[in-house]
Structure formats: C-alpha cells, structure tokens
Structure 1
C-alpha cells in the first residue's frame, strides 16, 4: 500500500485531564480529612485514612494506565520504499512506530449508547494497546494498512437498562 499520512484512529479527547483529576483528589482528601477529624473525637477514624489511601492508589494506577492509551494511529511510509509503518501516539505524548505487518489484531468496539468506539490493538509479541474513545474508523483502511491483522468490530456487551437491544 502506498502510504502517505493516513489517519487510522483519532480519539476525541487527547489531553491528560490533570485539572479534573487534581480537583477530585483535593475534594476527596478534604472530605475524608473532615470526616476523620469529625469522627476522631467520638470514635476511631482509621477507616477514613484507609479509604483515602486506597482511593489515592486507585487514582495513581488509573493515571499510569491512561498515559499509555492511544489517541492517534497513522499509517506512514517506510524508509526507502520499505514496508509501511504504523505511528502510534499516546496520551503521555510518547510516539512509537511499528511495522504494519506485525500488527496481529485490530478490534473496534462500538458503544451501544453513545456515538463513539474504542480501539483494542495487538502488536507483535502479544502486546495489547488500548485506545481512548473516538469516532469509529473505516475498517477497510485498517485491512489495507495491516494485511496480516485480524480486523473486526463488535458492539459493546452492555447497554442502557430498560432499553431493548
């Protein structure tokens, strides 16, 4: 495939979302601190400290996982008429290039409720990459860009309660 700079995946939100995350952390710390001070007078408030620590750990784990998610995938031409490469950009800003023939699976999962989709990509050595939600791409572009990949799509396994599928 003669490749230019064809866009394969584009997420709707490409930012780190640090301000909302810091607000959540600050409000949660303030509320748990207030509860700990309020309950410390009458009883043991160790549970509030444990809850705050668990929330902080969960937020850090999610932040680390979110930094590795894909926000953009492009097919670019290889050097000297070589094989095409896929350029992947992540939330944290890291850009990596992979041989398009080494992509083994590209799965697009359509949301049942919102008009968006997520991407699950498996590259060589069985490494999974997850994409942030974005508009559903054309699967023919993925099939042409990655000839050895299993390219498919499916609907999400959940829906709105009370709405028949």
Structure 2
C-alpha cells in the first residue's frame, strides 16, 4: 500500500464546461426558433418545439452525467492508524473517500488517435465511476494501491483514421 500522497488519475480538463454548454443550447434553440418561425405558415410546426425540448432534455442529462465524472483520484494517508484512503474528486466539485480494498476493477482505456486515456473505476457493491480523459497513469501504482482490484488496460476499439497499411 502506498504511504505517501500519490496522484493516481489526473484529467486534462477539470472545468465544469458551463459556458460552452449554455452557448450551444442558445445557438440550437435560436436556430430551431428561427426555423419554426419560417415554417409558421406551414400546416404542422410542432416538430420544432418537440425537437427543441428533446435537445434541452438531452443536454440536461449529459450535464448531470458529466458532473459525476472523475477529474482526480489520489491516495492519501490521513487516518490515525496510518491506513490510506482513496480520494476521488468529481467534475461537479464533490470529493468522496473510499477504502482502497473496496476497489473491484480499474480499467484504463488508451486512445488510439490522441495521446490520452480514460478511466473506469468500479467499487465493490457500488456503481461504476467514469473519468474524464487524461494522461495514461502508471498501472503499477494502481496495483500497489488497490491490491484486491483487477487492474487492466486496453486500447480503444476504434482505429486510426485514414488509409490502412
């Protein structure tokens, strides 16, 4: 078990991405509104309102999912008995601490096109955590920190765009 404070996962983008999301919603709503006004004389323009409502619902669902994604994972020692804890920081700002022995699976997915990776972390008896893209971490540190976890890595399922060899 690691005894010092080690950074296990660090995402490249730790922001909440609120401004680009609001800008995207405003542009799509404005375009659908203008198109709906242009079609006002037509027999059926409810589709524009339905499309705008569906887009807003999808955007809200993505925002709620993105707030729970991990931007940082580190092992810290703060207990009086010297036991280490796994501290997870989410994109929404929430920080949770877990016992490293409760980690069931760590999967690092390497991107084939860009030099980045994604984290999938599963705790025993709890849901799976997803990490935002970041640099590839050292698997040896994860194996040392979480001795009961299945620590693996793999390449992404999509390939390099372009002409094959």
| Structure 1 unaligned regions, length at least 5 | none
| Structure 2 unaligned regions, length at least 5 | none
Match of 2:17 in 1: 17
Do the aligned partners of residues 74 and 154 (structure 1) sit closer, same or farther apart at CA in structure 2, a change above 3 Å counting? Answer: same
Q: Which moved more, 1:71-80 or 1:87-96?
A: 71-80
8 Å CA contact retained: 1:105, 1:149: yes
Measured in 2, the distance between the counterparts of 1:101 and 1:82 equals: 14
Measured in 2, the distance between the counterparts of 1:80 and 1:163 equals: 58
Shift of 1:40: 1.1
Match of 1:159 in 2: 159
CA RMSD between the two structures = 1.3
**3-state SS in 2 of match to 1:107:** strand
What is the CA deviation profile of residues 49-101 of structure 1, one whole-angstrom value per residue up to 9, with x for unaligned ones? 11111100000000000000000000011412343110000000000000000
TM-score after normalising by structure 2: 0.95
8 Å CA contact retained: 2:2, 2:144: no
8 Å CA contact retained: 1:117, 1:134: yes
8 Å CA contact retained: 2:2, 2:75: no
Match of 2:69 in 1: 69
Match of 2:32 in 1: 32
Match of 1:96 in 2: 96
What is the CA deviation profile of residues 4-48 of structure 1, one whole-angstrom value per residue up to 9, with x for unaligned ones? 210000000000011100000000010000011110113311111
Q: What count of residue pairs does the alignment treat as equivalent?
A: 165
Measured in 1, the distance between the counterparts of 2:21 and 2:92 equals: 15
Match of 2:110 in 1: 110
Measured in 1, the distance between the counterparts of 2:163 and 2:90 equals: 35
Q: Does 1:59 align with 2:59?
A: yes
Structure 1 consecutive aligned stretches of length 4 or more whose deviation exceeds 3 Å: 160-165
Q: Which moved more, 1:87-96 or 1:76-85?
A: 76-85
8 Å CA contact retained: 1:8, 1:142: yes
**3-state SS in 2 of match to 1:164:** coil
